[in-house]
Amino acid sequence: MFKKILIANRGEIALRVIRACQEMGIATVAVHSTADSDAMHVRMADESVCIGPPPGTDSYLSVPSIVSACEVSGAEAIHPGYGFLSENAAFVQVLEDHNITFIGPSSEHIRMMGDKITAKETMRALGVPCVPGSEGGVPDLAEARRLADEMGYPVIIKATAGGGGRGMKLARSRSELDHAFQGARSEAKAAFGNDQVYIEKYLQKPRHIEIQVFGDGKGRAVHLGERDCSLQRRHQKVFEESPSPAIDAETRARIGKVCADAVGEMGYSGAGTIEFLYEDGEFYFIEMNTRLQVEHPVTEAVYRVDLVQEQIRVAAGEPMTLHQDDLTPVGHAIEVRINAEKLPEFRPSPGRIAAYHAPGGLGVRMDSALYQGYSIPPYYDSLIGKLIVHANDRPQALARLRRALGELIVDGIETTTPLFYDLLDQADIQTGDYTIHWLEKFLARKD
């Protein structure tokens, strides 16, 4: 087992990894920008190294700084968390060249899944159902027109390098296609330096269902059921639950097996998530994330596992302890993302935390790097905490969420907490009757 791990991240996910290491008796190294000298992850780690000025590109995304922090501290492995360098194949390649273990899949698998066209082709070949669309990239508008006419509108133009909801444009009819095609291309070029796009049938009322998978890197893989992340604003998830109100045990076992078999066949190592749109009983693959997801705690709650400890074990070459026959979900878990944002515009609201109190009690988990007196810097993601509840069934989980929200105190800044009270009052949320468009419609109605 590793003696020392460096965590190439900040905020709640850095704490999540430090906690896993502490329980395994592994020393931890935090890295931080000058804006994060007082951050909780720096305080909680055994050692810390300053890796640069506030902007992410000069610190948490700086490969040379992180590799040298690893070398000066003597850390043998790096956990990337999510975001930042977690899906950067070039970074993983550099670590492979420096004999530093990356806690995650191989650079080859990251590269394969990071390009959405290659990912789709790979998954289709492995028997995973995909959204109908172009085979590979669409070179020009004429080809886009031909494909869209063939498929029927609406269609969506997506960047092969896309992520975070960027480089994606909807065309409801032929007259919108030109604009959507050029728009997706230029957005992709600006955001990712790659303007290759592809075209997909636009599904009108799907749910976003994702399957958690885990591979040992030697051909054995398991699935840990689904998470329903349909409640999204601007393609960003805000509320996630497991199991999905729309998936029964038989469907879970069927799609889960397809996914586990696919990643087993690939020889995939570590945690991964296969994302689908789900409509009228059919699954359509959209992408695979080759890292730990923000919403992994809902899976940990219902499957009673520690995904981060398992990632560390497998990266260290120890056998995977997960076995499909033992993996049965128990009860119901919900996560809500607490962002430092002012409603109703979701405007960033950084600032000093005048008071902080985390909810507790049976079935409540609060993953957050906040503390009283902490100043949230304006440079990074607005996620400041994840509140996760687990109970015997969905109605009890909803009741527990309401109770836990009532205990949460974050004074001094604005947060998205009021939105969750609002959601809990909605009949559709209580019954689980929502699609990926539900939240946008709900927010538009309120304006």
Q: How many residues bind ligand ADP (CB under 6 A)?
A: 18
Candidate list 162, 329, 363, 385; residue touching ligand ADP; CB under 6 A: 162
84, 9 in Cβ contact below 8 A?
yes
Q: Is residue 187 involved in binding ligand ADP (CB under 6 A)?
A: no
Helix (H, G, I), strand (E, B) or coil at 64: helix
Q: Is residue 39 involved in binding ligand ADP (CB under 6 A)?
A: no
User: Who contacts 393 (Cβ-Cβ below 8 Å, separation ≥6)?
Assistant: 331, 332
Instruction: Give per-residue burial for 258-285: e unless 16+ CB within 10 Å, then b.
Output: bbbbbbbebbbbbbbbbbbbbbeeebbb
Which has the closest alpha carbon to 330: 394, 261, 265, 410? 394
User: Who contacts 53 (Cβ-Cβ below 8 Å, separation ≥6)?
Assistant: 33, 34, 35, 59
| Tokens 């789900």 -> residue | 278
- Using the minimum distance from each CB to ligand ADP, give the nearer residue, 151 or 424: 151
- Using the minimum distance from each CB to ligand ADP, give the nearer residue, 277 or 370: 277
- Using the minimum distance from each CB to ligand ADP, give the nearer residue, 131 or 147: 131
Q: Is residue 171 involved in binding ligand ADP (CB under 6 A)?
A: no
Q: Is residue 203 involved in binding ligand ADP (CB under 6 A)?
A: yes
- Using the minimum distance from each CB to ligand ADP, give the nearer residue, 123 or 413: 123
Q: Is 172 a catalytic residue?
A: no
C-beta of 195: minimal distance to ligand ADP in Å?
15
137, 160 in Cβ contact below 8 A?
yes
Per CB under 6 A, which region of 5-13, 26-34, 201-209, 420-428 contacts ligand ADP? 201-209
179, 229 in Cβ contact below 8 A?
no
- Using the minimum distance from each CB to ligand ADP, give the nearer residue, 157 or 391: 157
Q: Is residue 163 involved in binding ligand ADP (CB under 6 A)?
A: yes
Candidate list 82, 102, 198, 202; residue touching ligand ADP; CB under 6 A: 202
C-beta of 405: minimal distance to ligand ADP in Å?
25
Computed over its alpha carbons, how large is the radius of gyration of the chain?
21
- Using the minimum distance from each CB to ligand ADP, give the nearer residue, 131 or 211: 131
Instruction: Tell me the two tokens of residue 179.
Output: 């604009």
User: Who contacts 95 (Cβ-Cβ below 8 Å, separation ≥6)?
Assistant: 67, 78, 101, 102
Candidate list 12, 76, 87, 200; residue touching ligand ADP; CB under 6 A: 200
Q: Is residue 156 involved in binding ligand ADP (CB under 6 A)?
A: yes
Segment 260 to 279, residues that bind ligand ADP, using CB under 6 A: 275, 277
Instruction: Give per-residue burial for 16-37: e unless 16+ CB within 10 Å, then b.
Output: bbbbbbeebebbbbbbbbebbe
Candidate list 131, 258, 322, 401; residue touching ligand ADP; CB under 6 A: 131
Per CB under 6 A, which region of 64-72, 139-147, 199-207, 375-383 contacts ligand ADP? 199-207
Q: Is residue 165 involved in binding ligand ADP (CB under 6 A)?
A: yes
State the Cα–Cα distance between residues 379 and 399, nearest whole angstrom: 35
Per CB under 6 A, which region of 121-129, 200-208, 335-343, 398-406 contacts ligand ADP? 200-208
Instruction: Give per-residue burial for 303-333: e unless 16+ CB within 10 Å, then b.
Output: bebbbbbbbbbbbbeeebebeeeebebebbb
Query: 10, 227, 252, 291: which is the annotated catalytic residue?
Result: 291
Active site residues: 291
Instruction: By CB under 6 A, name the binding residues for ligand ADP.
Output: 131, 156, 162-165, 200, 202-203, 206, 208, 232, 235, 275, 277, 286-287, 436
